[in-house]
Chain A
Amino acid sequence: MSKYSDELSYGFTSTLAPPVRETRIGVCSAFCGSCSQLRGDVKSGCAQMQRRKFDQSGGCQLGLACGIVSSLTNVVMITHSPLGCNSRYVAMGGMRRTMRASKGKKDEEFIWLHTNMGELDVVQGGIDKLRRAVLYAEKQYHPEAIIIANGCVPGIIGDDIDSLCSELEDQVSAKLVPIHCEGFKSRYVASGYDSAYHGVLRFLIDPYERYDKALNRASGSRDEGEERDRFKQSRTVNLFNVGSNSNGDEVELCRLVHALGLNPRFLPLHASLDDLKHIGEAALNVSVCATHDDYLLGHLKERFGTPYIIDTLPIGVKNTGIWLRKIAEYFHLEDEAERLIAIETAQLEEALAPIKERLKGKSIFVGGGETRILTTAEFFHSLGMKLLGVKAHNVDRFVEDILENVTDGELLIEVAAGMPAEELNILSKLKPDLYCGHVGANGWVTRLGIPTIPLFGQAFNFMGYSGAFELARKADKSLQNTNFARNISRNVELPLSEAWLASDVNDNIKERESA
């Protein structure tokens, strides 16, 4: 279990849409200062009250929600909105294919539809178009599920997609899954994960019914099949994957959990609907990243009674160890875990030794999602690198422990979803040797002349012990030729003004207006 989520309640599946995270768990999305100050400000609630004067485009919960559900096998996505929402899918077909190929899953073309709402639909409503789109998807593709993502326009004008789904339920064989993920509803874009899992929980987690055996047995007799199932389930661990983990990560984490004598399986991304029907058949649910899945794990506990662990993210030697120990503890496999960790750590440390020698004393800055950056930063620190600061999209209760454990209270922490202008301001002063960041940030940092490595990627393994080695190898590789960033920065102009670069980032942060 987790001390973070024990006081949270999970019982929202009777509602049409989940509460946004601002109200459900509280969040800080604008802060710049030291780690110790942030710890205090989060406790007092001040950090959660801040906004920006100059703001830049971050994410949208629609994108994150659809990233989860569109990964499922044999589904068709319908975006109920004007053409722009999810128009990025035009570039995603190939990525879906390579991801599925890397997991050894059957090749599938990615199919999505837009209701293409226009001016007239804003006035008259777009439900009729949506109905035609659903029927078309059913006729052309016979998918197992048709997922309907609701954008801002239908959200504001009040299109009732839930009633439409009820109406069409008996006319199509696909399951209809409405997802309420209107972008304007939440500035904490990870709310989109809750929106996605809300739909999954309500419509796609539908366990097979078990019927009593036709033949009555004398009481006390044993059914071997059932016993086997029960034993298998008692060793099964669901690991919850996220959009930013690769198949390499999954292979590595499965290897480690399997080495404890358990039976791991990754869910729910890229899963089939049949996999989801079996989601309740596990002894334990384990989060890989709290930002993604506390809503899902909390509800699965309510529904199936499956206990869960939400703790750290298994990146780097220390946090992979913590993550494994938590799992082992639940199954009373502490000794096995210690032996495994000892062997793995010894082998890894030996392999890391020459890399550490080269990375020692080099400075680094890490930006991205809260749990991921803090664990990744810890690993770089453990390699002997000098950690100059971190930037988190958001900070919420799920990293309180990690923040408490940061030994350097003066460590610079910036909290911003996106905001490259602030990040570049900070980096132009800190001048790290290397930057490790989220998609969308690395390009800007390269333009500033600082070499970068990505924080995650479909083709990379960064989790577990093998991931730690890969991450170190990547940092080492990057620093052996930094000419790309040097040449780009000399020849490509940044839009930031000199006054901005000279300013204090804190001047841009204000206390928010009410509501």
Chain B
Amino acid sequence: MSDFIERAKFSCALGGALTTIEGIPRAVPIVHAAGGCASALSGTYNLAAGYRGIGYCGGNMIPTTNIAENNVVFGGEDRLAEQIESTLKALDADLYIVVSGCQVEIIGDDTVAVANRYRNRGVIGASTPGFSGNTYRGYDAIMTTLIDNIIEQSDEKEPATVNILGVVPGHDVFFRGNLDELRTLLASIGVKTNTFFGSGESVAAIRKYGSAGLNIVFSTQAGIDSAKAFERRHGIPYIQSEIPIGPGATSAFLRQVADALHLDRARVEDVIARETRTYYSFLERIVDIYADLDFQRWLIVSADSYYAHPLTRFLANDLGWLPFVTNVHDIDDEYDQARYDDLFKDIDSVRKPIVMFERNPSELVESVRRAWSDNHNEKYYNALTPAYVVGSVIERGLAETLNAGFLSVAFPVSNRVILNKRIAGFNGALTLVEDLITNLVSAR
């Protein structure tokens, strides 16, 4: 939490909490805050995450204490109790999660304590004031309260079952599709996957996730706190990975899981060989047009750390594009930046990417321009063309400045609708290539 941010690609902790709760089937948030917070924050992820919707009870359906100036002076805990009572009557849910906004946390209302009074009626609470952090903080707050209060202790572990952490609903705009893809993928090597937010999940199922043998965290910024809570309370170890995109990353991911779970390596290699064959049997369709029309592009990626390296790796190592700049907007700490920078050692093209950590879009435009030599009216100028920008919808301006192709993949995405589309795994990479190349042929 450092300085101001230009066009921040985040909501606050309360926003993160709400988009996380909306990802859980039949879970209802109860917001202790001023009247507008809940529907506005829910709206952020409804409109800017490929129109992900508002879930079972989002948007203006979210129960809210709607506190005002008199509560800021006199406290709002009584009002919260009244709102919890009335919500239990009005709304059906498998789980009610009370979350708090800035106003009530500053004045010292104990939201979690009030929620705990209704524990036996399916109510839990989490402290999620906006000033405590961004979306990631809200995700971890909700996951941690689930881990501490809902997920049952289990001494019997299922070694070949994994929980997925770090895939933040909405903040990964492809979260549903990606989670389903990961589950299918891991099933193919004999691993059962608990996704929390994928198809077929339920609060009843989530209660049993304490029996998993391993947690996999797909982000360095979200889910680590949750993984540690799992480790502490349920004794489940965790490994860190990345969202795998394309044959290279997905094969490596499957091998990583196989090693961690001590699976039969031969079977895993069979699956990798089969899926890679299938992948290329589809990709082969565009070989002619790709080669005839030269679809190799200079690549500029700008995304959060969740997508920045995985996208660069796929587009450089698998698709053969030229990684020019990769910008990561969500890592502030210099040590963490250096560690993230190390990930790019696996880019095996001749051209290596320049990795930047610009938070502010207008500074990114300047930095990208500086990284390529200017045109001083030379007769022969080696221009940054043809180029392609893969990022969030905010990078549309960058793409226009560079006269480059453009696809929005990372949050925010408001210029396309995403239903069950995925970009993870072998299948996801194919849909990503479809979308990238479709933009190049759309005028034909």
> Contact partner of A54 among B9, B34, B90, CB < 8 A?
B90
CB contact list, B82-122 vs A, under 8 A: 82-83, 86-87, 89-93, 101-103, 106-107
Contact of A156 among B12, B72, B93, B363 (CB under 8 A): B72
Task: Provide the bound-state CA to CA distance between A186 and B34, in Å.
Answer: 9
Q: Which of A440, A495, A497 gathers most chain B CB within 10 Å?
A: A495
B326 at interface by CB-CB < 8 Å: no
Q: Chain B residues near A1 (CB, 8 Å)? A: none
Determine whether the beta carbon of B6 is less than 8 Å from that of A184: no
Task: Please judge, given known A-B contacts A82-B102, A186-B68, whether A94 and B393 are in contact too, CB under 8 Å.
Answer: yes
Q: Which residue of B lies closest to A107 (CB)?
A: B400
Asked whether A132 is an interface residue with its Cβ less than 8 Å from the other chain, the reply is yes
Q: Which residues of B contact A129 (CB under 8 A)?
A: 3-4
Q: Which of A54, A57, A90, A120 has the most chain B CB atoms inside 10 A of its CB?
A: A57
B1-59 interface with A by 8 A CB criterion: 1-15, 26, 28, 31, 34-44, 47-48, 54, 56-57, 59
CB distance from B418 to the nearest CB of A (A): 13
Q: Which of the segments A108-116, A171-179, A283-291, A330-338 contacts the partner chain? A: A108-116
Q: CB-CB < 8 A to B65: which residues of A?
A: 55
B20 to chain A, nearest CB (A): 14
A82 touches B130 (CB 8 A): yes
Query: Are A440 and B86 CB-contacts (below 8 A) given A87-B15, A91-B48?
Result: no
Chain A residue, CB-CB nearest to B87 = A54
Question: In the complex, which residues of chain A have a beta carbon less than 8 angstroms from the beta carbon of B405?
Answer: none
Q: Which stretch of A59-67, A234-242, A267-275 is in the interface?
A: A59-67
Q: Is B198 an interface residue (CB 8 A)?
A: no
Instruction: Say yes or no for B63: interface residue by CB 8 A criterion.
Output: yes
Which of A83, A85, A111, A116 lies in contact with B3, CB distance below 8 A? Answer: A116
Expressed in whole angstroms, the Cα–Cα distance for A121 and B61 within the complex equals 32
Complex-state Cα separation, A93 to B361, whole angstroms: 13
B237 at the interface (CB under 8 A from A): no
Residues of B within 8 A of A62 (CB): 36
Nearest A residue to B73 via CB reads: A515
B130–A83 CB distance below 8 A: yes
Whether A156 pairs with B106 at a CB distance below 8 angstroms is yes
Residue B64, interface by CB 8 Å: yes
The stretch that binds B, out of A133-141, A249-257, A342-350, A465-473, is: A133-141
Does residue A157 face the partner (Cβ distance < 8 Å to B)? yes
B1 touches A118 (CB 8 A): yes
Choose one: A133, A153, A496; the contact of B131 (CB below 8 Å).
A153
Q: Is the CB of B240 closer than 8 A to any CB of chain A?
A: no
Q: Given A56-B62, A94-B393, decide whether A152 and B4 contact each other with a Cβ distance below 8 A.
A: no
B36 near A59 with CB under 8 A, answer yes
Query: Which of A55, A85, A122, A508 interacts with B35 by CB under 8 Å?
Result: A55
B296 at the binding interface (Cβ < 8 Å): no
Closest B residue to A134 by CB, please name it.
B4
The reply to whether A184 and B69 form a contact with Cβ atoms under 8 Å apart is yes
Q: List, in ascending order, chain B residues with CB within 8 A of A57's CB.
A: 31, 35-40, 42, 59-64, 66
Chain A positions 476-500 with a Cβ under 8 Å from a chain B Cβ: 493, 495-497, 499-500
* Bound complex: CA A72 to CA B25 (Å): 41
Closest chain-A Cβ to B201's Cβ sits at a distance in Å of 15
Tell me whether A185 and B12 are in contact (CB under 8 A).
Answer: no
| Residue in B14, B82, B103, B394 whose CB lies within 8 Å of A184 | B103
Asked if A183 CB lies within 8 Å of chain B CBs, one says yes
A282 cross-chain contacts in B, Cβ below 8 A: none
Bound CA–CA A56/B9 (angstroms)? 27
Cβ distance A182 to chain B, nearest Cβ, rounded Å: 8
- In the complex, the answer to whether A132 meets B44 with C-beta atoms within 8 Å is no
Report A46-78 CB contacts with B as 1/0, cut-off 8 Å: 000000111111111111000000000000001
Given that A140-B362, A184-B69 are known contacts, is A90 also in contact with B7, CB under 8 Å in the complex?
A: yes
Q: CB distance B72 to A113 under 8 Å?
A: no
| A84 & B130 in contact (Cβ 8 Å cutoff) | yes
> Which B residues touch A499, using CB under 8 A?
89-90
Taking CB atoms, residues of chain B closer than 8 Å to A60 are 34-37, 40
Cβ 8 A contact of A121, one of B7, B39, B83, B131? B131
* Pick from A58, A116, A515: contact of B8, CB under 8 Å: A116
Given contacts A56-B61, A87-B41, A186-B68, 8 further A-B contacts (CB under 8 A): A54-B87, A57-B61, A59-B36, A62-B36, A84-B44, A91-B47, A183-B103, A184-B72
Using a CB–CB cutoff of 8 Å, the interface residues on chain B facing chain A are 1-15, 26, 28, 31, 34-44, 47-48, 54, 56-57, 59-72, 74, 82-83, 86-87, 89-93, 101-103, 106-107, 129-134, 360, 362-363, 392-394, 396-397, 411-412, 414-415
Q: Which 4 pairs between the two chains have the least Cβ-Cβ distance? A: A60-B36, A84-B12, A118-B1, A82-B130
Would you give 19 A-B contacts (Cβ < 8 Å), ordered by A?
A53-B82, A57-B42, A59-B40, A82-B13, A83-B5, A83-B130, A87-B12, A87-B15, A88-B40, A90-B392, A113-B4, A116-B8, A120-B1, A140-B362, A153-B102, A184-B67, A417-B35, A493-B56, A495-B93
